[in-house]
A and B are shown apart, each in its own frame.
Chain A
Amino acid sequence: MLATARKGLVESLQNNLEVEGRSLWQDAWRRFLNNRAAIASLFVLGFIALFVLVAPMLSSYAYDEPDWGAMHAPPSWESGHYFGTDALGRDLFVRAALGGRISLLVGILGTLVAVLIGTAYGAIAGYIGGNLDRLMMRWVEILDSMPFMFFVIVLVTIFGRNFLLIFVAIGAVSWTGMARVVRGQTLSLKNKEFVEATHVYGLPRLQVISRHIVPNVLGLVAIYATILVPGMILFESFLSFLGLGVQEPMTSWGALLNEGAQTMEVAVWQLVVPATMMVTTLFCFNFIGDGLRDALDPKDR
């Protein structure tokens, strides 16, 4: 559902995002700066990123050290457990930061893989066209009709022990939306003068794609990426729900959230801490995505 709704969203905006002159990026940047929600989100996200990087150094506790005397301890300044502890007495302040690293890493890594494959695939299919295009898009169609969950469960059991690899793998099967969008954009670029001009010089096709097509779809790619990242983070939390998430004692926001959902009546901070952080992050990505879209799509103004 996530993936399909996402696809529709992008398709709807793809039609609007016309390629314009050089000043597009400058204009877009100016418009983006005027979007208060997006800028605020950027700052909040920066703060969260800083937190997940720095917080473990600010605490005297280790993320993997159980304390049998302090299980389910509520947040307190005196004890140094600023966010309380979990079921094993491990410090949540540190674990939330560590979990954030994993969740963000997973989101970015998965997205990066999806974006790289999707952009290249879409640009090649769209630019070269003909039978190759038809074949490539048929393949995308097949992947799209395959249940995502099936793919992921099988990948998890095959790559079970390397969590990051799982996300590279998930990225490698969730690029189809990206490919469709980029292909569509490439088709419309193909007939623009500046691209047709390259034929006169006889530039090799791959060079045309990398120098002239790809730079011109980057805006779209950026918007799509801000939608993919939260999707990946949410998907990680779904895997944690199934018990197929990151290996202990390492954690992720999804894993913490799932533990918190079990203990919310006993230790509400175990739910509130990861929930606040994850939801804030996803909100930020959302607003930044909106900001980018508005900035790159002047017609909405």
Chain B
Amino acid sequence: MDALDVARWQFGVTTVYHFLFVPLTIGLSVLVAILQTMWHRTGNERYLKLTKFYGKLFLINFAMGVVTGIVQEFQFGMNWSDYSRFVGDVFGAPLAIEALVAFFLESTFIGLWIFGWDRLPKRAHLASIWAAAIGTNLSAYFILAANSFMQNPVGYRINADTGRAELTDFPAVLTNKVALITFPHTLAGSFLVAGSLVTAVGLWHVIRNRGSADTGAYRFATKFGSWVVLVASAAVLFTGDIQGKIMTDVQPMKMAAAEGLYTTESPASFSVLTVGSLDGSREVFAIKIPYLLSYLGTGDPNGTVHGINDLQAQYATQYGAGSYTPIIPVTYWSFHFMIAFGMAAGAIALLVLWSQRKGRTPSSKWLLRAGLAMPVLPLLANSFGWIFTEMGRQPWIVFGEMLTRNGVSRSVSLAEVLTSFAAFTLIYATLAVIEVKLLLRYAKAGVPDVSEEHPIDDTPDDAERPLAFAY
């Protein structure tokens, strides 16, 4: 074990952990904004209750996303300083712009939204949640543009004197074809999580809280969430399909590793299940769907998909001796788990909608269990998606330009990285337990009573009145 291994593990753990909260922030900010807009449009108190209810769950999650996000920005410099030196000219710009353009918007307006119920005119308050939601989604775009540079570097040149990457075409970095397709794919995956949470919590109340005065609100939430999940599932499939073709083009090794395709095939079949040898160097047993991989990768059922062994030989000639193959069992299973868990959420959403057809009230214990599993499934799918896309890029930190092992900080000792890895793991694990317990507590508590809402008024005698919201 050396500092490099620990730095890799720390990046993996802190990034996957950060991205447990991000999808919910991205998706739920928009869904809460939609609910509040419906309240404004209809005046129906049901939507106000749902806005406040899901808004609370959103904020419990939001706090975690914010604080774990700061670590991400600092970590490049702390553990990956040679990487930072190499790409800073290109990679730093989208990060800085994200902070200035998106993160300020999100953080400032979320404060206005949380505390502004009795301080802002109704419309300004509604605009605040939309501004925060737009900030959140914009922020995802800039971060994904930065990440896409690592997958498919564009708009740069290597300065022969300094050995550093230099930006030559910023619009090209922002319109990197990997970024343009990863952004909608990530958003769709995020709405899958958010819709699943809305559905699961609604369904729990519909089944467990029968006869409650708020059943109508919960039924609406369940249907609303299920439709979001269905649309998001379709969007995930559609964008994922395009992403596969772009990946086959710019990172063929990643596509081959996703499928455990060792030798070049035309047509190539899609593996539903492959068991490889223990060292991952060849396959032992497989169930396959003919032509499908060729279609996914190239759009042509008879298209050629390059195999791991051929690509390895080609890269060794191109970049010098060495292994250019990711860890195949990791890429293979993370890719397959991503698809399976993501699609499972869509299937359950269909069941939930079916169970409520024509005003029926579902009561099945099994449906409830499936419903409660719902938010976990797309979260796992998101995590496996990131594990796949980052592990599939290995051994590169910037594809074709810099190896991960060359990006690590030279001045940081093993003891230092171990300390930091241990500290983050410990605090993250503790906070995860607290966060999940709070989410469950507030999800069970149900929609709030909104009958005491007071309209905004600025008369002097309100100095003694309690705030609509306080920490």
Are A and B subunits of one complex? no
